[in-house]
């Protein structure tokens, strides 16, 4: 059972709290926060953290290191955690695929959230460029040829500004904002894919890919 609940716009974090609390009632439930040392919004529900920086809260287990390096994850056994939380982290990374694979290896379920594609393709931060200047990736959830939903991403380049100028982007203003996110709960595992296999192709094809994010 991969992605069991997702939302693009509405923040579903209260449902994440409920999900964890219900399971903590019946067992010692281990929760790993990934990349959230500075803002661990799950608070006392977190039992472990993996991040480059020291956590602001006390946890049972802390793994310090670059989460885009496999050696950082080596001390965490397979399925050591019941749940992982990775909030607004993947969009910043040089290698989100590595982190996604490790999340599925070390945890049995979890929650992932990133900015909505509508936010990342709007002038949320400046009229000079789209999205957040430090973000490298745009994410979406697709259901291509089967009932299995796929968590997909595509990298941001200067071509995204051309797509906006050509009115190729169908941004929904109701899904734009610092308080909006693409978030999903998963169990067992889920599918992840780079759009176009992370291959840029020609300029026109890149424009079409950005437009297709809203298809």
Quote the CA–CA distance of 62 and 50 in Å, as a whole number.
6
The residues facing 106 across adjacent strands are none
C-alpha dihedral, 35 to 19 to 115 to 73, nearest 10°: 30
One pLDDT digit (tens) per residue for the chain, 215 residues: 699 999 999 999 999 999 999 999 888 999 999 998 887 899 999 999 999 999 988 899 999 999 999 999 999 999 999 999 999 999 999 999 999 999 999 999 999 999 999 999 999 999 999 999 999 999 999 986 666 899 999 999 999 999 999 999 999 999 999 999 999 999 999 999 999 888 888 889 999 999 999 97
Which backbone phi and psi does 123 adopt, to 5 degrees?
-90, 60
pTM, entire model: 0.95
Which domain, by its residues, includes 39?
3-212
Indicate which CATH number applies to the domain containing 183.
Answer: 3.40.50
Say how many domains are in the chain.
Answer: 1
Quote the CA–CA distance of 112 and 123 in Å, as a whole number.
24
């Amino acid at each position: 059972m991969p992605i069991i609940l997702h939302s693009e716009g509405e923040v579903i974090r209260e449902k994440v709290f409920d999900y964890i609390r219900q399971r903590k009632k019946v067992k010692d439930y281990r929760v790993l926060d990934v990349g959230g040392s500075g803002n661990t919004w799950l608070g006392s529900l977190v039992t472990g953290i993996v991040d480059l920086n020291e956590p602001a809260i006390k946890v049972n287990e802390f793994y310090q290191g670059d989460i885009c390096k496999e050696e950082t994850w080596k001390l965490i056994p397979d399925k050591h955690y019941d749940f992982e939380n990775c909030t607004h982290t993947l969009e910043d990374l040089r290698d989100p695929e590595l982190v996604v694979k490790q999340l599925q290896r070390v945890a049995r379920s979890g929650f992932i959230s990133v900015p909505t594609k509508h936010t990342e393709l709007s002038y949320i931060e400046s009229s000079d460029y789209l999205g957040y200047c430090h973000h490298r990736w745009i994410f979406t959830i697709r259901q291509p040829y089967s009932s299995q939903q796929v968590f997909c991403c595509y990298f941001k380049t200067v071509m995204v500004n051309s797509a906006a100028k050509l009115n190729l982007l169908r941004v929904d203003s109701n899904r734009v904002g610092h308080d909006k996110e693409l978030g999903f709960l998963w169990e067992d595992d889920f599918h992840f894919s780079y759009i176009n296999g992370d291959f840029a192709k020609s300029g026109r094809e890149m424009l079409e890919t950005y437009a297709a994010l809203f298809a």
